[in-house]
Amino acid sequence: MKIMSRKILPRAYFRRPTLQVARALLGKYLVRKNGRKTIAGRIVEVEAYIGMEDRACHASKGRTARTEVMFGPAGVAYVYLIYGMHHCFNIVTERSGFPSAVLVRAVEDVETQALIDGPGRICRFLAIDRMLNRVDLTVGNRLWVEDRGERVASSAIAAGRRIGVDYAGIWAKKPWRFHLKEL
């Protein structure tokens, strides 16, 4: 794939409705600069979590120290630990005060084109941990999202139920997981 340009996505990109951002992130690149090393993965699967009514969203239980970042500005990283051992990377979306985010579920390694699936594997691959919680992704110094000119047609995107949120009742059935059909 020929890279035409590299543009760090601005805050306005993430300040849009979460479902719109989630679909638009497919084909974008999650980039991590760790010391002298820069690693990138093409985003190929995501899940949306929208507001306090969404019982699968961490903010559904209210504003806490953990979820405070979700109530802040769009374009900021929300990184948390699950099962005491796996980190998950999310991007805060929409307006400040409305807790929403997109979880990145799978990327393709730019170097090898290998699929890195699962939020914990992505975080290990890109060396993302809670030290990057609240990092502003629009600055582009340690962690950011790039547009490299690739266009993904709506017809190339599949939607389905989110994974691992059966406890959320009807909210678990929302088709808010998006992935490229090529997977």
Q: What does the alpha-carbon distance between residue 87 and residue 33 come to, in Å, rounded to a whole number?
A: 18
Q: In CATH, which superfamily holds the domain spanning 7-180? A: Methylpurine-DNA glycosylase (MPG) (3.10.300.10)
Give the percent of the chain with pLDDT over 90.
Answer: 77
pTM for this model (two decimals): 0.93
Q: What does the alpha-carbon distance between residue 10 and residue 140 come to, in Å, rounded to a whole number?
A: 10
Reported as a single tens digit per residue, the pLDDT across 87-113 is 999 999 999 999 999 999 999 999 999
- Report CA 24 to chain centroid distance, whole Å: 11
Domain boundaries, the chain: 7-180
Reported as a single tens digit per residue, the pLDDT across 16-38 is 999 999 999 999 999 999 989 99
Higher pLDDT, 86 or 85: 86
Q: Is the pLDDT of residue 1 over 50?
A: no
